[in-house]
Structure 1
Amino acid sequence: MKQLEVSIGQASLTGPRPRNEDFAGYVTPSAAERQDKGILVAVADGLGGHENGREAAEGTVRGLLADYYATPDTWAVNTRLERVIQSLNRWVQGQAARHRHAVGMATTLSALVLRGTRYYLAHVGDTRIYRLRDGELDVLTTDHVWAHPELDNVLSRAIGLDARLSIDLADGNLAAGDRFALMSDGVWATLGDERIRRILAQTASSQDAASELATSAVGAGSPDNCTVLVVQVEQIPPSRLPELFEAVASQPLPPALGPGDRVDDLVVEAVLHDSLLTRLYRVRTPQGRQAVLKTLRPGAGDAENCQALVYEEWIARRVVDSRFPAVIDWPARRHLYYLMSWHEGSSLKARLAGGHRFAVAEVVELGCEILRGVAALHRLAIVHRDIKPDNLHVDTLGRLRILDLGVSASDGQDFAEINNPGTPSYMAPDLHAGERASESTDLYALGVTLYELLTRHYPYGEIEPFQKPRFGEPVPPTRYRPDIPAWLEAVLLKAVAVDAGERFETAEEFLLALELGAHRPLRMPRKRPLLRRDPALALKLLAVGSLVLNALLLLLLFAR
């Protein structure tokens, strides 16, 4: 199976300077990490002439190469790059603040990540990233400089210059044969684009190209250090789906199973769930351990559904939290499914259906536990997209777990996904308007869930599939449960506000509001003006008022 393959060359020459203040480095990780996080290369140029320019450049590149690979797999590449570089900017500024001799230390940085069939770049300063494709040379970065009448161009941005660092982030498609060149200004400012293009096009190996560019710049009289990294893309994978996923997704689906049937040394004990696409079984291992097996129904195993199931397992493996079922490794697996830990108990929906009346304190405690789990998801840049009582489970020991990551999404992998999946009554107004799911829409769904647990109603009434709902003011939960305290009503109404800007911004903020409770109550949300709640009705009332006023004026006129 094809995977991303590259060759890399590197050269760095001091030139006429007394010391080399440039630094370059790269990481070519193992196959599994290459699929998740890609290959990272970077070049930095410490501020010319500064005593600590080299320290800033080397520390920034080494820190980026180490910390980038320590970030969660579920983060998007650009998210990883930005967060790590921002932390490195704070590190450089901290060094300058702590040591008198380091005041003013700073560095430029150009970084490139190749992953799957795409490239991603992050850039600050006047180092550059070039791409040669089909003989055409493109500059992928913009120089952050100000023209100065008496000096060479002055840097407008660099790592360490400003507490508020602005980073250029971009991405694009890869093609086999692409050649990228990252270089300091001592090279590109001396050689010019045409000479760079010729050397990259005419030099066979990446190492020879990097060496030729650096030595040519020194030979042409470069006044600066000359550093170059050249990356040649030898082959790319056939699709965006990581090769490991493809291997699993190509396995056959298990047949329809019933109690007593066997699959891959597992004995089926019960069918737990059977939908149009998926089936869940409770199974027992040869060691006697019970587990949940999730797979697709026979006949639902098209490529998109298979990839979605494998992606669900990929996400579930990365959510290591006690409020989620654990994924179980099963070396004997020869069919397309995955195993999760089994926990005796029932969903909150089943408890509602069974007539359980949730006390206020019980709902607050459940809400806090759910929010801690949702916060763990959001820290991994995962959005659940289907929070509801059906997907919230309490075991026989009273421990809560969040179930079903089947439609969850992370920004760390770019897969085709269902447009705004979820259950209509728990979907935020912005989702019904066609906007993308977000942390805010998860928190809205949780607000509806807590409202339902207390009242057995929905704040805007039940919404049927394919219905286009109109959202007015939510019904106060105290209409159904007068015993709900005012502070909790305020929390619930804030959580389910129509305007996303009026809701809780993070799970931690929502959690704090529940934990503080009556000790620091929220202000009751003010009712929205009619023009915002229902513009059409407001205009109709305005028109009617205008007609009535005109009629009165006519009556007064004729009365005279």
Structure 2
Amino acid sequence: MLAQQSIDTRLSDKLEVEFGGSSLAGAKSDNQDALAAYYPDSASARLKGAVACIADGVSSSEQARMASQLSVTHFIQDYFSTPDSWAVKTAAARVLSALNNWLVHHGRQSPGQAGMLTTFSALICKSATAHFLHIGDSRIYRLREQELEQLTQDHNLHQGGGRSFLSRALGMDNHLEIDYRQEALQAGDCFLLCTDGVYGCLPDSQLQTLLKESQTHPEALAKKIARQALAAGSQDNISCLIVRVTQLPRQDVNETLRQLTSKVIPPALKPGMTLDGFKVSQVLYNGPRSHLYLVEHDDREKPLVLKTPDVRFADDAVYLEAFSREQWAGRRIDHPGVMKIYPSPDSPFLYHLCEFVDGQTLRQWMRDNPHPSLEQARKLAVQLVSALRAFQRQGMVHGDLKPENIMVQADGELKIIDFGAVQVSGLEEMAADITSLQPPGALDYCAPEYLQGEKGSAQSDMFSLAVILYEVLCGELPFKRSVLAHQHSDSRCTWQYQPLRLRRPSVPLWADLALKKAVAKHPRNRYMAFSELLQDLTLPNPQLLRHQRRMPLIERHPVQFWQSVSLLLGLLLLLQWALR
């Protein structure tokens, strides 16, 4: 599956690579090596990158050839089937884990045989970054500026008599340990993926000399390396795959801004006006950053919401990138708790077409229901967790969860309607650095790590969710945020949790402790999964209760502690005055 695609270079904004490979049985009767490379001539090229991989089936395995061939072909097929929003490491790890489990399972179906074992090494070039995944003793080399460097480490155990055995391989065990690293690409980088039939008889100095032949096409060069390995007396299968980077995508911020501003922001619209066949029937919202219109179209059965940026942001790269990212992400999430964003027609104008959600914001619902029961809050939590999991499955973090971004429909169902601050790990790997230095969402619901300049995670969304649930139950926030300008500090008192029971005594202690854990300052101290939070909001967690009982009074009941200290000091002063 070697593929060298013709890439459009008119804008010089795409990654260009050349592939070439060769695989010979050599001195053996059966070739148990396999190699493959693929770079699609489509949008996936930019979102997923170019992939090259090589595998060497373990000879002691009865199905070595099948193991190596399945590994390289299925890895590429399955990798390109993962969501575009996933980071390379996440997508590759998921695919390799599933592939390894399959090899282990089928390898155990034949008792007395060594199973389906193979080495595996892969190179994924995405944007201006190279990602390496490796297990076994195949190798990846890089020639850069005429210097050859081995980038992988052999997973071998050496014994007496010069013998060695693989310590790690695909199909060896259900517990898979893959080496992963990433490095910046440079134009002119030349990568060599090869099995031990090549490097076992050709020294690094000879490989370096051969790879320096930059004018030779990788296909011809790979065949030349294979022939020389055979002539040098290789007793194994001989396989090598060459990947040459001929051009990197442009990472210039000005170019990114040019692409973002290539469409025109429509002026403010009024009822009766038409844009691309969409007739405005109502202005839903006119804000400082965006405008929302209820629109109808002859070809659409239901009314839609047309969302446009405000014209004042026509040259704001950060805002426009977020607006475009919202549309990109929204079209990939299909969940009843998340507002749908539909494909827009080919148009010179910049706008979204969104699902119309009839209802009220959660903020208004909170005003109308100032004292909801814990059971009502739990139902809200279950729905929001379900929606946030849809983001999580796509490798996304919402980043701006707040009551104003959540709609409560007439039937009580919730729907998240705004995700302009969404973080997409797969896009972040290829974007030019135009990100804002400001926190992505509203400060009242913003996780502390954002304020420290760190990236968000699912635990960041959990923090925002817990703050909302706290506010739903008592109408206030769990932290005193009177000095937001100083939130970048590590001040402990700034993030001092205010017990929910002080503001609403009817809430059980165990529910209060669950919310306290979910809004811990450090993500590592929060729940690792949303399901754990929902569990502790439903049933008391004995561990949290025990920990609470063991805490000093000043941490367990800070207000009561200081009230007691103040009372004691007052009594001492009265006593001192009386004894005069």
With the length of structure 2 as denominator, give the TM-score of the two structures: 0.84
SS at match of 2:311: coil
Is 1:449 paired with 2:453? no
Structure 2 unpaired stretches of 5+: 1-10, 557-580
Do 1:473 and 1:527's aligned partners in 2 also have CA atoms closer than 8 Å? no
Aligned residue number for residue 526 of structure 2: 503
Pick from 41, 44, 54 the counterpart of residue 55 of structure 2: 44
Pick from 59, 70, 73 the counterpart of residue 59 of structure 1: 70
SS at match of 2:455: coil
Distance 1:472 1:407, change over 3 A: closer
Take 2:183 and 2:285, find their aligned partners in 1: how far apart are those partners? 41
Matches for 1:142-541 after TM superposition, within 5 Å? 142-202=153-213, 204-239=216-251, 249-287=261-299, 289-302=302-315, 303-354=317-368, 357-414=371-428, 415=431, 416=433, 417-419=435-437, 420-463=439-482, 465-468=484-487, 470-471=493-494, 473-514=496-537, 517-518=538-539, 523-524=544-545, 526=548
Task: Report the alpha carbon displacement of residue 53 of structure 1 after superposing the two structures with TM.
Answer: 1.9
Task: Report the alpha carbon displacement of residue 162 of structure 1 after superposing the two structures with TM.
Answer: 3.7
Take 1:429 and 1:214, find their aligned partners in 2: how far apart are those partners? 55
SS at match of 1:318: coil
SS at match of 2:211: helix
SS at match of 2:387: helix
SS at match of 2:133: strand
Aligned residue number for residue 103 of structure 1: 114
Take 1:437 and 1:511, find their aligned partners in 2: how far apart are those partners? 21
Task: Report the alpha carbon displacement of residue 459 of structure 1 after superposing the two structures with TM.
Answer: 1.5
Take 1:531 and 1:359, find their aligned partners in 2: how far apart are those partners? 29
The letter of the residue matching 2:104 is Q
Do 1:424 and 1:464's aligned partners in 2 also have CA atoms closer than 8 Å? no
* Structure 1, 460-469 or 288-297: larger mean CA deviation: 460-469
Distance 1:278 1:193, change over 3 A: farther
Do 2:291 and 2:308's aligned partners in 1 also have CA atoms closer than 8 Å? yes
SS at match of 1:398: coil
Pick from 108, 132, 141 the counterpart of residue 143 of structure 2: 132
The letter of the residue matching 1:239 is Q
Distance 1:464 1:250, change over 3 A: farther
Take 2:318 and 2:450, find their aligned partners in 1: how far apart are those partners? 23
SS at match of 1:50: coil
Do 1:253 and 1:295's aligned partners in 2 also have CA atoms closer than 8 Å? yes
Do 1:43 and 1:182's aligned partners in 2 also have CA atoms closer than 8 Å? yes
Task: Report the alpha carbon displacement of residue 275 of structure 1 after superposing the two structures with TM.
Answer: 4.4
Task: Report the alpha carbon displacement of residue 528 of structure 1 after superposing the two structures with TM.
Answer: 8.4
The letter of the residue matching 2:264 is P
Do 1:385 and 1:421's aligned partners in 2 also have CA atoms closer than 8 Å? yes
Aligned residue number for residue 42 of structure 2: 31
The letter of the residue matching 1:136 is E
Aligned residue number for residue 555 of structure 1: none
1:341-395 C-alpha deviation (Å, 9 max, x unpaired): 1111111112224565433322211111001111121122211111111111112
Do 1:372 and 1:507's aligned partners in 2 also have CA atoms closer than 8 Å? no
Structure 1 unpaired stretches of 5+: 535-560
Task: Report the alpha carbon displacement of residue 496 of structure 1 after superposing the two structures with TM.
Answer: 2.4
User: What percentage of aligned pairs have identical amino acids?
Assistant: 32
SS at match of 1:17: coil
Task: Report the alpha carbon displacement of residue 449 of structure 1 after superposing the two structures with TM.
Answer: 0.3
Task: Report the alpha carbon displacement of residue 403 of structure 1 after superposing the two structures with TM.
Answer: 2.3
Distance 1:332 1:184, change over 3 A: closer
Is 1:114 paired with 2:128? no
Do 1:471 and 1:498's aligned partners in 2 also have CA atoms closer than 8 Å? no
Take 1:64 and 1:532, find their aligned partners in 2: how far apart are those partners? 56
* Structure 1, 124-133 or 428-437: larger mean CA deviation: 428-437
* Structure 1, 50-59 or 210-219: larger mean CA deviation: 50-59
4+ runs of 1 displaced by more than 6 Å?
Answer: 243-246, 519-522, 530-534
Take 1:46 and 1:246, find their aligned partners in 2: how far apart are those partners? 49
Take 1:246 and 1:162, find their aligned partners in 2: how far apart are those partners? 50
Take 2:153 and 2:68, find their aligned partners in 1: how far apart are those partners? 19
* Structure 1, 457-466 or 24-33: larger mean CA deviation: 457-466
Distance 1:332 1:226, change over 3 A: closer
Distance 1:500 1:180, change over 3 A: closer
Take 2:133 and 2:337, find their aligned partners in 1: how far apart are those partners? 35
Distance 1:332 1:71, change over 3 A: closer
Task: Report the alpha carbon displacement of residue 226 of structure 1 after superposing the two structures with TM.
Answer: 0.4
Take 2:169 and 2:100, find their aligned partners in 1: how far apart are those partners? 9
Task: Report the alpha carbon displacement of residue 246 of structure 1 after superposing the two structures with TM.
Answer: 7.3
Task: Report the alpha carbon displacement of residue 265 of structure 1 after superposing the two structures with TM.
Answer: 2.1
Distance 1:89 1:332, change over 3 A: closer
Cα RMSD (Å): 2.9
Task: Report the alpha carbon displacement of residue 304 of structure 1 after superposing the two structures with TM.
Answer: 3.2
Task: Report the alpha carbon displacement of residue 399 of structure 1 after superposing the two structures with TM.
Answer: 2.1
The letter of the residue matching 2:374 is V
The letter of the residue matching 2:318 is E
The letter of the residue matching 2:157 is W
Do 2:466 and 2:518's aligned partners in 1 also have CA atoms closer than 8 Å? yes
Do 1:179 and 1:232's aligned partners in 2 also have CA atoms closer than 8 Å? yes
Do 1:118 and 1:172's aligned partners in 2 also have CA atoms closer than 8 Å? yes
Take 2:39 and 2:454, find their aligned partners in 1: how far apart are those partners? 37
Aligned residue number for residue 24 of structure 2: 13
Take 1:222 and 1:196, find their aligned partners in 2: how far apart are those partners? 15
Task: Report the alpha carbon displacement of residue 287 of structure 1 after superposing the two structures with TM.
Answer: 4.0
SS at match of 1:175: coil
Distance 1:301 1:334, change over 3 A: same
* Structure 1, 327-336 or 517-526: larger mean CA deviation: 517-526
Take 1:531 and 1:150, find their aligned partners in 2: how far apart are those partners? 67
Distance 1:519 1:146, change over 3 A: closer
Take 2:233 and 2:553, find their aligned partners in 1: how far apart are those partners? 69
Aligned residue number for residue 83 of structure 1: 94
Do 2:62 and 2:115's aligned partners in 1 also have CA atoms closer than 8 Å? no
Distance 1:245 1:156, change over 3 A: farther
Distance 1:528 1:308, change over 3 A: farther
With the length of structure 1 as denominator, give the TM-score of the two structures: 0.87
Take 1:409 and 1:66, find their aligned partners in 2: how far apart are those partners? 26
